[in-house]
Every structure is written in structure tokens, then in C-alpha cells.
Structure 1
Amino acid sequence: MLGVQVVRGVARTGTEGGMVADQDDGWAGVGWEGWQDYEGIRRRLDRGADPEVWGGGRPLHRASVFGSPEVVAELARRVTDVDALAGGTTALWEAVLCRRPDNARALAAAGADPWRPLVGGWSPGRLSLAGPTPDLFVMPEEERGLTEAERTAAREGRRLVSALGKLYYDGTGLACVAGIDAGDAIRRLEATPAEGDGLDELLEDPYAYDMDDSLRIIGVTTVPGGCVVTQPWGYAPKMPGVLARLSVDTVCYGMYSNPKSGNQGSIARNGTIEAWDLHPGGPPRPQAGSQEVLASYLYQSSAVAYSCAFAGLRLADARAIVGPPDMWVELPQRDYWER
């Protein structure tokens, strides 16, 4: 029985119980910047690099995100199907999603279909209408544009990302809560005001304190649409027991920017944690619905904005995130990992 494994750009072929030989697909050693080197990529292709296979995916998909338009056009000329799927999407989808309009134009010129529905009912062409290059493709008469709700979401996305600006939030925990203010949040959490010299010392160097103590101090701020619970040094706002209490009769999005593993999101609705281990600011999941696809596109690499937008918070600036909050409070002693 013939078996095939792909390991780091090298296809390993062989038979069960027999010897295994390495068959180089020609892409070993090509880093992110290498996909912009047209002459280098063309030489590899001329020497036999496989235009259909790169590691666990396809070279054209890789180049659509990291490459130059010239490299994309060269690969598109050599593949069998410019709209071949990898991970459920086409190279054109990846170029649009990652906001590489020049690469998207090169793919369309090579025959890629901008109006093929792929994820959550969205096509690359329709998704581009919500971004910075809405005139990227000519829209056929039979294609529908954005709905009014989608146009409104796109406008708010641009406004919110601009309002928050460039944030440093590594290590920060957030809970974005819809429809309640800071006072409501404090009452739901049964928190008490934190003040005095002890608070000042903690804020000056929170990592010098025992985590059991520092995690109990959180900031709460009223914003248009609801409130933000924040902790610049820890994950307390995202703990299940905190989210469950905050989300009674409403919805909230919790996020922790883990310095080791990236942004981690969760959704709580009416006291129940309904989704965990999400990735705000990242690409949409393959099974994503229409709203998730649009939000992932609008708030790409903007995890804080994504979290706020999910709860319908319309922040005018970044104060609720970076401080100072309306109030610092202390959580009562309890097991917040219990939902």
C-alpha cells in the first residue's frame, strides 16, 4: 500500500514495511521574504519545483499572502487550476482576506473567480467590498453587493480600529460586556473599591506581587454600548466565573493576550460560556458563519477591536483598555474557574 507523508516541504514516499525515500518538492528553504523574489522562484520552478505542492499546502496560496504580484502571476501561469482549494479556500480568497490587492488583481487576471462563494457564504469579491479596496473587481450585474447592515458594520469597523489606534496589550485580559455600565458590572461581581497605597504599589509593579493577590484587582470602565473590564497584567476578566456573572441577561466577549500563545477569546451569554479557545483578530474558522467572516476581515490583527465589536461596544478611544479605568476594584475570594 503506497503511503505519502509531507514533512517540511519534502514529500516522503514509500511502501509499508519498506524503505522510504525523500523526494524534494523544490521549495525547501523558502522563507516568507523568499516568496517576493521573482527570479529566485522562477529558477526553482524551471529546475522542477512543484507549482502544486508546498509543505502542507499550495505554493500559490502561500505566495498570495507573502509574495509579490510577479511571483503570484508566475505560479498562476504554471498551476493546473488557479482556483484550486487548500483548507477550503482559494488563493484569491487568501489574497483578499490578507489585504493584498495587487496579488488579488494578478490572480483575477490569471482567471481566478472573485465571485465564488467559499466561507460563510462570502466570495472574495463580495468580501472585498467591505474593505479598503471596494473597487478591486468589476461586480457582475447578477451579484448582490453588501447589505445595509454589512455596510454599517464595515463603517464601524474602520472607525473603531482608528479610534483604538496602535495598542500594546500583551498580557492584558479583557471582558467586553454589552448593555451594562461599570456600576452594574461591579455589583454583579460583588467587587469592592480598591484604593490607597497598596493599589498604587500594585499598579507600579503588578508582577512583583503574588498572582493570587494581583489577579483580584481589575479595572472597570463604562463605554458607549456597555462596559469594559480590564486587567493589564493578567487573565482575570476572562476567567469563566467572571464572564458568567457579567453575562447574565446579556452577552460578553472575553479575551486574554497570552504572551506565550497569542490572543485567546471566549463568549459568554446569559451566564453560560458558549465558546472557548477562540482567536480574535485571526482568520475566520472554516465553519464560520457570515457575521464571523465579516468581523474577522474587518478586525484582522486587531484583537481588542474585535472583542469590543462583538459586544457592540463603540469606544471613542483606548482609555478603557490602557487606563486609567473609571474604577479599580477588588474581586471577592472565590474559585473563578468554576462556571
Structure 2
Amino acid sequence: MVVTKEAGWVGLSWDDWSDLSEIRARLDSGADPHADLWHEGPPLHLAAEYGSPEVVAELARRVGDVDAAYEGHSALWRAVFAHQRDNALALVAAGADPWRPMTGGWSPGRLSLAGPNPGLFFPFPRDKPTLSEAEIAAVVEAERLIEALGDFGYDGLELVCVAGVTAAEAARRLGATVAEGAGIDGVLDEPYPREGNGLVGATDVPGGCVVSRRRASEVTSADVINRLSAGTVCYAMYADPKGGNQGCSSRNGVVEEWDAYPGGGWVSPDSSADEVLNAFLYQGEAVAYCCAYTGLRLTDARPVLGPPDIWLHLPPRG
């Protein structure tokens, strides 16, 4: 019989990462504090993101290196990224280093300056970099954009944010015609528009335009986003009611990324500094993330929810 390192952690729920007696009992029974659990990371990393400071302190006492990295990130990074203030403080008390550079050059300490707990590691060391003017502007814009969009349900939404392109130019690139009159009556109120009816909305916004449609499958195809991104960049999202938000980007007519998760708060070890900051600022804000990715500065949710500036009838695609 093969006994895996995960064996001592079988049956654990996310809530159990806040249960000190449960975690301590498992450790005392031989559960490995260094195990890679379900490709989510070691126990200390999971507790830092999902658990309590008491559990974090217990696990930190049992590991060989409190700053051990998983996919380029320490447990302290995970706590800061998840806005777990008390868990971050528990890790620092256990010896974690807030200033160790990680993905995109960000350290947990510097990243905290962009979040809801900017005073977490004060006094800030004079020899450590703070936020640049551009990064401060990005933080301010994230707060403004998220507030401007507000809260709304967007299951079934297909959305493309296009930088530097007007709605009229988007229509030209797509070979679309403007739909008027009886052809668009009741479209916004139709709960389940017919697949393939080819109607999408396009709206001019500061920085570019938004092309969107509810419960259709015409907007986020590779053909559409590549046409729209000629000479620029666009980011598309489909809010699949069953599979979650699915994102993709295209630059200068070529898909750059597919099967992304906008607003998911995940970064890869090779993410750029800007990608890290956007992922941190727009966690749980998928639509705002799409806008920020392309530099669109919406002032309200109308370009997303409608009515749009113009309705476009897309030609059939082979």
C-alpha cells in the first residue's frame, strides 16, 4: 500500500483551516506539514489564505522554513494577497520576511501598500521601494472603476473590451451592419436570445469601446477578438453560468492568452509586475478586470448592461 504525503489531510474542509484543535490533532498524528495538498500548496500556504492566525502560528512552528515558496510565493504572500491581515501578522511574528521579492518583483510588504491594509508592515523600511506614481494611479483607478460599475449579476454575459477603437470602427472590423427598428425591439428584455441571431451591442467609452451581449456565443470567438485587436489589444470574457468566468486576450490580431480567469486573483510565477497588480486589485471583479486590462475607464455599467450606443448585426461566420 502506497501512503501519500497527503494522507494525513484527507477529508479536510476549507473551514477546518480555522480549527486549531483539528489541525493540531492531525499534525500530532503524523500529518506532513510540508505536503503539497491537492496542487493548492503546503498546509501553511492554505492556512495563510483560508484559515485563522492561530492555525497559521501552529503550522509555522512545525515547518522547516516559514518562507518556503510554492509556485514562487511564500505563505506570507498568500496571506497578503487574500487580504488576511491577522494571518500575515502571525507569519511575520513567526519570522516570515515581508520584503523578499517574488513574482514581478513584488514583495509581500510592497504589495500590501496597494491593498486594504497599507499600514500592515509600518514603519516601512527606508531602503525598500514603495509604490510608483503609476502604481498609485492604478490603485486609485481600481477603486473608482469598481465603484462606478457597481454590483450586478452578469451570468451569461459575453464582453469584449477593445483599447483605442470606437464602436463604429469595431463594426467595420467585424463587417457588421447597424441594426435598427423592429430588429432590436425587446432584445434587452429577451431572457434567452436565440443562439446565432448575430445581434451584439457596441458602446464608446473613455479609452476605447465595449462590445457585449447576453447569453449568446458570437462575441468571444477567436475570429471576433482577433479582428477587433488589429493594431491594439482587447480582452474578452464569457461568464459561463456553469463553468465560471472564462477570459482571453488578443493583441494585434493574435490570441495571447486563452482559458484565463479574469478577477480570479491568480498569478503565475512568470506574471509581469502589472499583471500581479491588476490581479491583486480586481479580485472578484471580473468585468472591472477586463476593462482595466485594456485601459477602459467606464463611468457606469451601461456599456455592459445596455442599452448600447448601437446594435450590430454580425455576419454569419463560416
TM-score scaled by structure 1? Answer: 0.87
Aligned to 2:277: 294
The residue correspondences of 1:276-315 to structure 2 (distance < 5 A) are 276-282=258-264, 283-315=266-298
Q: Is the counterpart of residue 68 in structure 1 residue 55 in structure 2?
A: no
Q: Given the alignment of the two structures, is residue 148 of structure 1 paired with residue 130 of structure 2, yes or no?
A: no
Instruction: Find the counterpart in structure 1 of residue 302 from structure 2.
Output: 319
Q: From the superposition, tell whether residues 21 and 190 of structure 1 become closer, same or farther in structure 2 (CA, over 3 Å).
A: closer
Q: What pairs up with 1:108-257 in 2 under 5 angstroms?
A: 108-138=92-122, 139-205=124-190, 207=192, 209=194, 211-213=195-197, 216-257=198-239
CA contact (8 A) 1:173 1:232 kept: yes
Is 1:103 the counterpart of 2:95 in the alignment? no
Q: Deviations over 1:30-76 (max 9, x none)?
A: 10111111222223223333222252431101101110111111111
Q: Please tell me whether the aligned partners of residues 33 and 63 of structure 2 are also in contact (alpha carbons under 8 angstroms).
A: yes
SS at match of 2:119: coil
Using the alignment, how far apart are the partners of 2:37 and 2:175 within structure 1?
A: 52
Listed as ranges, the gaps of 5+ residues in structure 1 are 1-18
TM-aligned CA deviation for residue 24 of structure 1: 6.5
Letter in 1 for 2:223: G
Q: 2:73 aligns with which of 89, 95, 101?
A: 89
Selected match of 2:17 from 22, 32, 35: 35
The AA in structure 1 aligned to 2:158 is G
Quick one: distance in 2 between partners of 1:169 and 1:208? 15
Q: For the Cα contact (< 8 Å) 1:27–1:54, is it kept in 2?
A: no
Quick one: percent identity of the two aligned structures?
A: 55
Q: How many residues align?
A: 314
Cα 1:251–1:54 shift into 2, 3 Å: closer
Q: Distance in 2 between matches of 1:67 and 1:131?
A: 19
> Does the aligned pair in 1 maintain the 2:45–2:78 contact within 8 Å?
yes
Deviating more after overlay: 278-287 vs 110-119: 278-287
Query: Per-residue deviation at 1:257?
Result: 1.6
**CA shift in 2, pair 1:234/1:156, >3 Å:** same
Structure 2 unaligned regions, length at least 5: none
8 Å Cα contact 2:71-2:268 kept in structure 1: no
- The one-letter amino acid of 1:217's match is L
Greater Rg over alpha carbons, structure: 1
Match of 1:44 in 2: 26
Quote the Cα distance in structure 1 between the aligned partners of 2:147 and 2:193.
34
Q: CA RMSD in A?
A: 1.9
Give the secondary structure class of the aligned counterpart of 1:260: coil
Runs of 4+ in structure 1 off by over 6 angstroms are none
Deviation track 1:80-127 (CA, whole Å, cap 9, x = no partner) reads 111112222111111111111111111111110111111111111111
Q: CA deviation at 1:300?
A: 1.1
SS at the partner of 1:236? coil
In 2, Cα distance between the equivalents of 1:104 and 1:21? 32
- The answer as to whether partners of 2:6 and 2:37 remain within 8 angstroms in 1 is no
Offset at 1:183? Answer: 2.0
